[in-house]
Copies of this chain bind each other. A is one copy, B any other.
Amino acid sequence: MTELQTTHGRQFINGRRVASGEPTLTSLRAHDGAPLGPRFYPATREEASLAAQAAGQAFSHYSQTAPEVRARFLETIADELDALGDDFLTLVHQETALPLARLQGERARTSGQLRLFAQVLRRGDVFGARIDTALPARLPLPRPDLRQYQTALGPVAVFGASNFPLAFSTAGGDTAAALAAGCPVVVKAHPGHMATAEQTALAITRAVEKCALPGGVFNLIFGTDIGAELVRHPAIQAVGFTGSLRGGHALFQLAQQRPQPIPVFAEMSAINPLIILPQALRARGQALAKDLAASFTLGVGQFCTKPGLILTLRDDALASFTATLCAQVKAAAAQVMLNASTLQHYREKVDALASHPAFTLLASGDAADGCAEPRLYQTSASLLLAKDPLLLEEVFGPLAIVVTVDSEAELLAVVGALQGQLTATLHADSDDRDAAGRLLPLLSEKAGRVLFNGFPTGVEVCDAMVHGGPWPATTDARGTSVGSRAVERFLRPVCLQNAPDALLPPALQDANPLNLLRLVNGQWTREALSPSVD
């Protein structure tokens, strides 16, 4: 077990701890906002620039490392994270109020994610190797030898999330994917869990040293308004972000206004519609009501995939479903949110709903000081069809809104009015199958993941996962920030024409030393090529 190191509060730049000025930032206890002790130095503009430069300087070495070197590096980070003792989880708990059991799971998920990318590197999907061999006798013109592989995009700036201090933060999915791709990283630590960020960064730094990689492979800076500096820096070639629509959109705009625009993969905002079709409602309305209340209040409703909009069809079974749902919400406890500002945003949304005549409060849990109480509202489909922002925008917290429609046609219209989503869920029994078949293409247009008879809170880290979706769920529907495909965001294809075999990267060499599955002359194969004349 690795003991926690004393807090320095300084930036991690090029393998060193650096700071100037005063340590004006304070880590706060989530439960009451009291200072936890450790203080942090906000990065200066120069330090942000140095961090980006360090990543830029490490790029040429790190991007050319063998996949096995990167795989071991990711596994070493995973081992270092797993070796952190209970003190570490206690620290994370203090900064975020997230329960220890959840944090234990989140840590396992974070190290498991790093190990998945190590596997992906060994499997070699990341290279996307494609070879068209020369056709010297082809008429009217010969074809040269053409070989395509994917290579690292460049240094990546990562902005971690408040709600996943481990899995979507310093050593989270964006960092793991970028490092797997061969891209050095600069993390902007989330101000809500700076001590967590520092201990995680120390774990990564130990892995960098153990693997004898350049210090600039991983950098981290503290600060509250220094992110723009990073995104603007010419060395940075991509951005990974998990957070609010406002924050993600602002960084996106900045990145597009650079002299050289760069891609931004921001995961931002979703209300994750959950549709209950009639037979499912009738057959298991009670169980659905209980599970649904548990899902949208889980973790104080602080999941990106929280089902915030419940769509039902008018039906005799609806009354008892709604009654059970209300009873569950009333019985659910108020809980501490991630921090004071999160709670305040929740209160503002609750106030906005209260003062909007079209929303009816169906149930709420008991209030408690400094806590967010679960809330269930109802409104009409017409508000959705009118694209009322209050209904279309995410409420971060334990709150859901029920909308009941009169017909399948209205349901299709309502779904059509929704913005892009991370998830969409369909509860459908066998008699609902035809309607489900009609809804599925539309839901697939709207969301990155479509679930049947389940709940969206819970994102499996695997090859098939998509945690993404059309705007405003993310800035780029073509990516996912969870699962092995996340690495694709930080890769670009390069084609080598008539390159001598000795100069080709191993992924493209005739002998296929990495034993990759490659697309050779239109056929997928692991076979080596007969050596070309060199």
Contact = CB atoms under 8 A, between A and B. Distances in A.
Interface string A436-458: 11001110110111111110001
A26 interface: no
A460 B140 CA distance: 13
B144 A460 contact: yes
Interface in A449-479: 449-454, 458, 460, 462-466, 468, 470-472, 475-478
A132 interface: yes
B448 A494 contact: yes
A466 B131 CA distance: 12
Nearest to A256: B256
A458 B141 contact: yes
Interface string A50-73: 000000000010011000000000
Nearest to A467: B495
B450 A130 contact: no
A522 to B, nearest CB: 6
Contacts of A143: 460, 462
The 8 closest A-B pairs by CB, nearest first: A466-B495, A146-B464, A451-B497, A148-B464, A256-B256, A449-B495, A130-B464, A132-B462
Given A140-B105, A463-B519, A472-B260, A448 B146 contact: no
A524 B444 CA distance: 25
Contacts of A466: 148, 493-495
A344 interface: no
A263 B153 CA distance: 17
Most buried by B among A462, A471, A493: A493
A149 to B, nearest CB: 9
A249 B436 CA distance: 42
Contact of A465 (B140, B433, B478, B495): B495
A500 interface: yes
Interface of A: 60, 63-64, 105, 119, 123, 125, 130-132, 140-141, 143-144, 146-148, 151, 153-154, 252-253, 256, 260-261, 263, 419-420, 433, 436-437, 440-442, 444-445, 447-454, 458, 460, 462-466, 468, 470-472, 475-478, 480, 483, 485, 491-500, 502-503, 517, 519, 522, 524
6 contacts: A125-B519, A143-B462, A260-B420, A448-B492, A449-B496, A450-B495
A444 B151 contact: yes
Nearest to A451: B497
Given A123-B522, A477-B153, A492-B478, A500 B452 contact: yes
Contacts of A524: 517, 524
B460 A146 contact: yes
A464 to B, nearest CB: 4
B450 A499 contact: yes
A503 B464 contact: no
Contact of A496 (B123, B445, B450): B450
Contacts of A437: 502-503
Contacts of A450: 494-497, 499
A465 B522 contact: no
A210 to B, nearest CB: 25
A152 to B, nearest CB: 9
Given A123-B522, A447-B494, A471 B260 contact: yes
A503 B436 contact: yes
Contacts of A263: 476, 478
A440 B453 CA distance: 52
Contacts of A465: 132, 146, 148, 495
A472 B460 CA distance: 38
Given A503-B436, A517-B524, A524-B517, A464 B252 contact: no
Contacts of A64: 441
B132 A522 contact: no
A490 to B, nearest CB: 9
A454 B261 CA distance: 31
Given A146-B460, A146-B464, 18 more contacts: A64-B441, A123-B522, A125-B519, A132-B460, A132-B464, A143-B462, A146-B465, A153-B478, A260-B471, A440-B503, A448-B493, A451-B497, A464-B495, A466-B494, A468-B492, A468-B493, A478-B491, A517-B524
